[in-house]
Amino acid sequence: MYKRILLKLSGESLVGDKGFGIDPEMIMHYAQEIKELVAHDIEIAIVIGGGNIFRGLQAGPNGIARVQGDYMGMLATCINGMALQSVLESVGVYTRLISAIEMREIAEPYIRRKAIRHLEKGRVVIFTAGTGSPYFTTDSAAALRANEIKADVLLKGTRVDGIYDKDPEKHDDAEKFDAITFMEVIEKNLKVMDMTAFTLCNENDMPVVVMDIHEKGNILKLINGENIGTTVTR
């Protein structure tokens, strides 16, 4: 179904059972899933968060200015990106680490045409440092990069298998949506991505699939046309 995808991974998804930092088993799980996609000639870009290390929203209560905190969060995404790059290369996947904040010693600066060329050559592109600007989440960065590289879909990996009318981890009677529109998500006030990201995808007709990233083989099943997760379209 999709030739070029952008995968959004939250920093918290790397934690596993550890509660903080990076779980080696979890990051290896992601690496193996991505390797399987590469073997099927899928072009993959990844936007990774930094919430397992630091979130900008943590700044205020700690006496840190919000802007400063957001930049700290961006640097946390670079740490996660470096870890994912290293594990991917350990299993034989060619990668490029790209940062929206210039740090020449560890990552390439973001140049749209160059990033697309990497994808065309079969390299996994890992976007870090968000958008490079404060007040924007990594969800917004994922929506922005997905549109810039003309991805076929934005995949948001979570620990639940789609979008529900209420939190399925708290309510046994929660009902899952197989498909839903951007406007319905907004009207129902479903907390999936932030409003900036949703608006950007809606205006540019970028489909979003929310899915369980922890289930082995789920992304490949989706690529092959199986009904996985919840698809959000205009």
**Residue 176: which pLDDT band, with cuts at 50, 70 and 90?**
very high
- Look up residue 72 and give its two tokens: 């700290």
Give the model's pLDDT for residue 62.
77
Structural domain count of the chain? 1
The pTM score is: 0.93
pLDDT of 9-44, one tens digit each? 988 888 877 777 899 999 999 999 999 999 999 999
Of 212, 205, 211, 210, whose CA–CA distance to 233 is shortest?
205
Q: Residues with Cβ < 8 Å from 10, sequence gap 6 or more?
A: 48, 49, 51, 138, 157, 158
Share of the chain above pLDDT 70, in %: 99
What number is the average pLDDT over the span 54-79?
85
Cβ distance 165 to 219 under 8 Å?
no
Give the model's pLDDT for residue 169.
80
Q: Please report, for the domain that includes residue 26, its CATH number.
A: 3.40.1160.10
Q: Residues with Cβ < 8 Å from 175, sequence gap 6 or more?
A: 164, 165
Query: How many degrees, rounded to 5, is the angle at CA 176 between CA 170 and CA 180?
Result: 130
Stretch among 28-37, 60-69, 179-188, 205-214 having the lowest mean pLDDT: 60-69
What number is the average pLDDT over the span 162-185?
89
Compute the radius of gyration of the chain from its Cα atoms. 17
What distance lies between CA 118 and its chain's CA centroid?
18
- Look up residue 6 and give its two tokens: 């952008």
DSSP-assigned letters across all residues of 102-123: --TTT-EEP-HHHHHHHHHTTP
Site of tokens 């920093």: 11
Torsion of CA 172, 17, 81, 7, to 10 degrees: -20
Domain range spanning residue 202? 4-233
Give the model's pLDDT for residue 16.
76
Mean pLDDT score of the chain: 92
Sign of the CA dihedral with 129 first, then 17, 167, and 151 last: positive
Q: How many helices and strands (H and E) does the chain possess?
A: 7, 11
Cβ distance 39 to 21 under 8 Å?
no
Of 130, 141, 125, 134, whose CA–CA distance to 42 is shortest?
125
